[in-house]
């Protein structure tokens, strides 16, 4: 008789979703997490970044309040106050997760887990070592930042998301590095928020296009937004060396200098499997733990979910995978559905996409219809004070299937949520084109783009 039906290793979005799902399906569940609950999402990336990008957007709005005819506002962004607010909100959210776990009678065990054998883990925690057995396991240990080594720059000058938002002031001048294995493009958010906070920012991405997942015109719009915020955007450049006050970038042929007292690397993350002793469990893992659509590893009773499995390395995907893993660990038969996972970057204005870009869709050999709507003619966008923006709809020409939507502009989050829901429900582009929207609203831009795709 095992101690628990399911033991979950890791307390981030994948881990707590797995624990809650397994408990909801009748399993007795323990969750092992050495740090504060919430994982990187709550404590270091999504939530802290979101509080900052929101603070930044509010600051920019405030700067323009006199334009709206309200008041005249100050120019200064108070970084330390934003940090304090972020710390309060993060603690609140982490405590909320603890409450949700307790309500589901999930036992939270502080400590680090490693496998002793396929049915047992050893836990090293504050209360001393212990070992526990379970019928099934869910590994959700997430990812770790792996800041690049840049010769000539001191290690403390190379920052990751968890460290940059703990600083007393925005680092300036700063070099923000994009790219990374999952190409999550969070570097764009950091470039925007640092620039908005008054820092001199250079953004360097290794690819020719700012975000490889996006079509050229949308990526170009995003680059323009960042330039408007004062960010120096360098596409196709990677760092080679620094001297403490600047970093040399190369594109393979030429070299340029970027002033940088700090380097911010937020997208350089690797799945975290160290210390788990996966060999003892029989789980094979190279640089990540590979799983199928049911989130099962090569060992049938051991599941994995979230960043540790590689792939998208996004919190939304992690929570979804966690739920599937939790259901299956409790004996269910669920499978993941990540094709319609929306992406949303809180740059100013926002940048969002779901599904395939036109280039990707065409590369698969599909006949596509494409429609674009210019948001500078959208009344809601105009009322919000936006000067530019773009919605692009990509659909299968024969079937009318919505293959992808990309948005650059204010309210991109609103538009992409609608698009993702429609794609998940398998609504056709014709249906979308015939939809009724509130006027004035950003969603009108989506419907307009769909209509244009029909010609």
Partner 1 sequence: MAIAVLIPKLGMTMTEGCVAEWKIPDGGQVAVGEIVYVLETEKINFDVEAEGPGVVRHLVPEGTKLPVGAAAAYILAPGEVLPAGVQPAIPVAAAFPPVTAVPGTGAALGQERISATPIARRLANERGINLNQVAGTGPGGRITEADVLAAAQAPRAAAPVAEMAPASPLARRLAEQLGIDLHRVRGTGPGGRITKEDVEAAAAGPAVTAPAAVAVSRQTSPAAGAAIPLRGMRGIIAERMHSSLQEMAQLTLGMSVMMDEAVKLRGQLVQEWAEEGIRPSYTDLVVRAVAKALARHPRLNACIAGNRIELLSDVHIGVAVALDEGLLVPVVRDAGRLPLKEIAVETARLAAAARAGALGPDDLSGGTFAVTALGMHGVEFFTPIINPPNVAILGVGVIRSVTGWEADRPVQRQEMTLSLTIDHRAVDGAPAAAFLGAVRDLLEAPYRMLV
Residues 2 to 41 in contact with partner 1, rule: CB under 8 A: none
Q: Which DSSP helix (H) or strand (E) runs through 264?
A: strand 262-265
Supply the minimum distance, in Å, between the C-beta of residue 312 and partner 1.
Answer: 20
Give the x-and-dash track for 358-397 against partner 1 (CB under 8 A).
----------------------------------------
Residue 50 in the binding site for partner 1 (CB under 8 A): no
Supply the minimum distance, in Å, between the C-beta of residue 438 and partner 1.
Answer: 18
Q: How many residues bind partner 1 (CB under 8 A)?
A: 17
Residue 418 in the binding site for partner 1 (CB under 8 A): no
- Strands 402-408, 390-396: pairing kind: antiparallel
Residue 421 in the binding site for partner 1 (CB under 8 A): no
Rounded to 5 degrees, what are φ and ψ at 352?
Answer: -145, 150
Do the beta carbons of residue 260 and residue 246 sit within 8 Å? yes
Structure tokens at 444: 């009108």
Cα(133)–Cα(83) distance, integer angstroms: 41
Residue 399 in the binding site for partner 1 (CB under 8 A): yes
Name which of 194 and 447 has its Cβ closer to partner 1. 447
Select the span of 54-62, 103-111, 183-191, 419-427 touching partner 1 (CB under 8 A).
419-427
Supply the minimum distance, in Å, between the C-beta of residue 25 and partner 1.
Answer: 11
Give the x-and-dash track for 111-130 against partner 1 (CB under 8 A).
--------------------
328, exposed or middle or buried, with CB in 10 Å at 0-12, 13-18, 19+? Answer: buried
Among 341, 427, 440, 452, binds partner 1 (CB under 8 A): 427
Name which of 269 and 451 has its Cβ closer to partner 1. 451
Return the bridge partners of 385, or none.
Answer: none
Cα(444)–Cα(406) distance, integer angstroms: 14
Residue 70 in the binding site for partner 1 (CB under 8 A): no
Name which of 80 and 434 has its Cβ closer to partner 1. 434
Cα(302)–Cα(309) distance, integer angstroms: 13
Supply the minimum distance, in Å, between the C-beta of residue 331 and partner 1.
Answer: 11
Select the span of 221-229, 349-357, 408-416, 426-434 touching partner 1 (CB under 8 A).
426-434
Residue 426 in the binding site for partner 1 (CB under 8 A): yes
Do the beta carbons of residue 106 and residue 26 sit within 8 Å? no
Give the residue from 333, 370, 360 showing the smallest Cα distance to 452.
Answer: 370
Name which of 96 and 293 has its Cβ closer to partner 1. 293
Residue 334 in the binding site for partner 1 (CB under 8 A): yes
Supply the minimum distance, in Å, between the C-beta of residue 296 and partner 1.
Answer: 13
- Strands 112-117, 107-109: pairing kind: unpaired
Cα(327)–Cα(338) distance, integer angstroms: 17
Please name the residues in contact with 325: beta carbons below 8 A apart, sequence gap of 6 or more: 14, 18, 21, 138, 140, 295, 303, 304, 305
Residue 400 in the binding site for partner 1 (CB under 8 A): yes
Q: Which residues are catalytic?
A: 439
Among 241, 401, 417, 440, binds partner 1 (CB under 8 A): 401
275, exposed or middle or buried, with CB in 10 Å at 0-12, 13-18, 19+? Answer: exposed
Among 109, 403, 433, 449, binds partner 1 (CB under 8 A): 433
Structure tokens at 219: 């990526």
Give the x-and-dash track for 292-331 against partner 1 (CB under 8 A).
----------------------------------------
Cα(448)–Cα(442) distance, integer angstroms: 10
Residue 240 in the binding site for partner 1 (CB under 8 A): no
Select the span of 9-17, 132-140, 168-176, 399-407 touching partner 1 (CB under 8 A).
399-407
Among 428, 437, 440, 452, binds partner 1 (CB under 8 A): 428
Do the beta carbons of residue 234 and residue 202 sit within 8 Å? yes
Query: Half-sphere exposure of 48 toward its Cβ, with a 13 Å CA cutoff?
Result: 25
Please report, as ranges, the residues that interact with partner 1 according to CB under 8 A. 332-334, 398-401, 425-428, 430-431, 433-434, 451, 454
């Amino acid at each position: 008789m095992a101690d628990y039906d399911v033991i979950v290793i890791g307390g981030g979005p994948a881990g707590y979703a797995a624990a809650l799902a397994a408990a909801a399906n009748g399993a007795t569940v323990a969750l092992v997490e050495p740090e504060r609950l919430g994982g990187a999402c709550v404590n270091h990336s999504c939530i802290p970044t979101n509080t900052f990008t929101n603070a930044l957007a509010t600051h920019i709005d405030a700067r323009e309040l006199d334009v709206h005819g309200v008041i005249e506002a100050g120019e200064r962004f108070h970084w330390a106050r934003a940090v304090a607010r972020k710390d309060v909100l993060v603690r609140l959210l982490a405590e909320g997760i603890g409450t949700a776990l307790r309500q589901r009678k999930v036992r939270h065990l502080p400590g680090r887990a490693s496998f002793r054998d396929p049915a047992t883990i050893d836990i090293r925690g504050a209360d001393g070592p212990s070992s526990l057995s379970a019928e099934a396991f869910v590994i959700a240990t997430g990812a770790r930042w792996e800041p690049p080594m840049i010769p000539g720059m001191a290690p403390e000058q190379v920052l990751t998301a968890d460290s940059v938002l703990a600083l007393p002031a925005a680092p300036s001048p700063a070099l923000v590095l994009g790219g990374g294995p999952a190409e999550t493009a969070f570097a764009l958010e950091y470039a925007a928020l640092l620039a908005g906070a008054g820092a001199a920012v250079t953004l360097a991405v290794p690819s020719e296009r700012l975000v490889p997942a996006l079509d050229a015109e949308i990526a170009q719009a995003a680059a323009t937004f960042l330039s408007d915020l004062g960010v120096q955007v360098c596409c196709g450049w990677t760092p080679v060396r620094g001297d403490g006050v600047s970093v040399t970038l190369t594109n393979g042929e030429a070299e340029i200098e970027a002033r940088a007292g700090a380097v911010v690397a937020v997208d350089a993350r690797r799945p975290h499997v160290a210390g788990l002793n996966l060999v003892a469990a029989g789980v094979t893992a190279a640089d990540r733990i590979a799983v199928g659509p049911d989130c099962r590893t090569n060992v049938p009773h051991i599941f994995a979910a979230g960043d540790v499995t590689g792939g998208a390395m996004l919190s939304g995907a992690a929570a979804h995978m966690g739920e599937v893993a939790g259901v299956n660990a409790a004996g269910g038969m669920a499978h993941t559905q990540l094709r319609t996972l929306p992406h949303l970057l809180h740059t100013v204005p926002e940048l969002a996409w779901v599904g395939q870009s036109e280039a990707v869709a065409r590369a698969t050999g599909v006949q596509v219809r494409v429609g674009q709507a210019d948001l500078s003619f959208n009344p809601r966008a105009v009322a919000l004070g936006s000067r530019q923006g773009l919605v692009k709809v990509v659909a299968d020409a024969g079937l009318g299937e919505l293959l992808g939507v990309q948005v650059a502009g204010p309210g991109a989050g609103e538009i992409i949520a609608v698009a993702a829901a429609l794609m998940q429900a398998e609504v056709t582009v014709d249906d979308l084109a015939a939809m009724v929207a509130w006027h004035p609203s950003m969603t009108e831009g989506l419907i307009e783009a769909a209509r244009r795709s029909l010609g």
